[in-house]
Amino acid sequence: LKRVRAFLPHAGQAWLVGLQGPAAGRPQPMRRTHAAGLYEAYTTSGIAADYQLRVHDPDRGTRDIHDPYAFPTMLTDYDLHLLGEGSHWKSYEKLGAQLREVDGISGVNFAVWAPNAAAVSVVGDFNNWDGRVHQMHKRIPSGVWELFIPGIQPGAAYKYRVQSDEGTADRADPYGVAAEVPPRTASRVADLAAYVWGDDTWMDRRRHRDWLAEPISIYEVHLGSWRRPGDDPTRWLTYADLQRELVPYCIEMGFTHVEFLPPTEHPLSASWGYQTIGMFAATSRFGGPEDLMALIDSLHQAGIGVIIDWVPAHFPKDGHGLRRFDGTALYEHEDPRLGEHPDWGTLIFNYGRNEVANYLISSALFWLDRYHIDGLRVDAVASMLYLDYSRKDGEWLPNCFGGRENLEAIEFLKQFNIQVHHHFPGVLTIAEESTAWPGVSRPTYTGGLGFSLKWNMGWMNDTLRYMRHDPIHRKYHHDELTFSLIYAFHENFVLPLSHDEVVHGKGSLLDQMPGDHWQKFANLRLLYA
């Protein structure tokens, strides 16, 4: 006989119900061995498919459940080895909330990396947010906690309750693929494989396409403010609304690509989304994952590529996010001279930690794989490359050679580009890099960072400064217009007129032009031409 123990803190009574053999269907009373709710009984089989637990509690009545602790762990030793090595490029298929079927029983396998936590539980609307019910297994020595919970369906809200020396905190899933609508902060289980794509022609053609040999015109779009419904300007357009309005607009205007400001989940609705909480979760403000997929699918079928802004440079300090995730500086650096960004009040990823670099590169590959994204524009690359970025003397630490270059970030960016171009040929990677760092868009095998393209910030600043002059004075400032030609062929440049040029009191591009109303429009037409 095998002893079955179950911790059922809400149960007034419990029975073991066999599903196989002569005792099938007969409930066997379980003995309560501890007042906290520990029950036990004996059975001839400990296999999950061979028995259920019948639980009676005053609030939910009597129900039959499968024992989550009768199921084996899903992650293999090889998975854990690759995670520790930092080379599990598709870790999004293993960590997080994965819909699974085990022995004919459907459910969700939860897995989270929290090596320094004392205990981790899955809490959610399926267990009344009680951290005692679904406590996870720790896979030593990897630090991954894991538990298969049968019966959970897509749409369920959940978090990880992490206990550490600093106390107890409920965390959103770092690998969560969906989230509650802010200001709520839980992750949601989602079935991303359910959507049926119709962009096969586009995807097949993309693999053999050389965008560097073709003209590109990119339309930058912030999903939350591109347009508002005419009947209610306080409401956002949904992904479905954007599918109806944005696609024909891009066709009419002749754009080859759209670039979405970060579509990842973020806490502040009044922002552009650059302080990301969920690196794998599409923001739920505008609809579900399948709605964003439908928007991208429609753009592809219209012959328009989709680029997203992707932010591996930093992350916010919100309590449900990555900050001190397991009670230690897990994703960030412990020393604020390395781990804190002075401009934005955010935290900087520790690119030298294998699991962190793996997490970020896996996020990039996830968007290209599951959402058919055609390009990633990496935000704030300059802040990643330099240890003294926006810091005064004494506020930063040099690298092992005494220099200011962030060697770990450099290797991370190279590996990011290598993996993206290896797994997804035809995809663009674009760097927003504002310094003279050499070889940003040169191959890694020649010492470059490996990006496809780089934003030409110098051209943008010089050109806008030139256009702000009254036309009668421009002849004295032609150097501002021509200077960028001196270095135009050092990189594969994109010429950007971006969101950064219309904020912080700068006004719209139209307002920045000289002259009266008619002259402003004339100058803006000249700029665009």
Can you list the domains of the chain with their CATH numbers? 2-70 (2.60.40.10), 77-190 (2.60.40.10), 200-455 (3.20.20.80)
Banded pLDDT at 394 (limits 50, 70, 90): very high
- Most distant pair of Cα atoms in the chain: their distance: 98
**How far is Cα 223 from Cα 235, in angstroms, rounded to an integer?**
12
- Residue pair 260/307 in contact (Cβ under 8 Å)? The answer is yes
> Greater confidence, 235 or 219?
219
* Average pLDDT of span 425-448: 97
* Neighbour count for residue 205 (Cβ, 10 Å): 13
* Average pLDDT of span 500-509: 88
Residue 179 has pLDDT above 70, yes or no: yes
**How far is Cα 167 from Cα 144, in angstroms, rounded to an integer?**
19
Q: What is the reported pLDDT for 267?
A: 93
Identify the active-site residue in 79, 265, 379, 480.
Answer: 379
* Average pLDDT of span 129-146: 96
Banded pLDDT at 483 (limits 50, 70, 90): very high
* Average pLDDT of span 10-34: 89
Worst-scoring range by mean pLDDT, 227-231, 287-291, 295-299, 426-430?
A: 227-231
Residue 279, Cβ density class (10 Å: 0-12 exposed, 13-18 middle, ≥19 buried): buried
- Residue pair 151/263 in contact (Cβ under 8 Å)? The answer is no
Banded pLDDT at 244 (limits 50, 70, 90): very high
DSSP-assigned beta bridge partners for residue 102: 105
**By percentage, how much of the chain surpasses pLDDT 70?**
100
Q: What is the reported pLDDT for 26?
A: 86
**Helix 407-423 and helix 354-370, axial crossing angle in degrees, nearest 10:** 30
**By percentage, how much of the chain surpasses pLDDT 90?**
90
Residue 395 has pLDDT above 70, yes or no: yes
Residue 23 has pLDDT above 80, yes or no: no
**How far is Cα 177 from Cα 162, in angstroms, rounded to an integer?**
20
Contacts of range 467-473, beta carbons closer than 8 Å, 24 or more positions apart: 467/512, 467/513, 467/523, 467/526, 467/527, 468/512, 468/513, 468/514, 469/514, 470/514, 470/515, 471/514, 471/515, 471/523
Q: What is the reported pLDDT for 46?
A: 66
**How far is Cα 253 from Cα 524, in angstroms, rounded to an integer?**
16
Judged by DSSP in three states, 419 sits in helix
CB burial of 211-248 (b: ≥16 within 10 Å; e: otherwise) equals beeeeeebbbbebbebeeeeeeeeebbbbebbbeebbe
Over the chain, what is the mean pLDDT? 95
* Average pLDDT of span 313-335: 97
Q: What is the pLDDT of residues 452-475, one digit of tens each?
A: 999 999 999 999 999 999 999 999
Has 231 been annotated as catalytic? Answer: no
Name the residue among 94, 39, 25 with its Cα closest to residue 67: 39
> Greater confidence, 470 or 47?
470
Q: What is the reported pLDDT for 405?
A: 98
Has 432 been annotated as catalytic? Answer: yes
Q: What is the reported pLDDT for 47?
A: 75
Identify the active-site residue in 265, 340, 374, 432.
Answer: 432
**How far is Cα 80 from Cα 76, in angstroms, rounded to an integer?**
7
Two structure tokens written together for 100: 């699974």
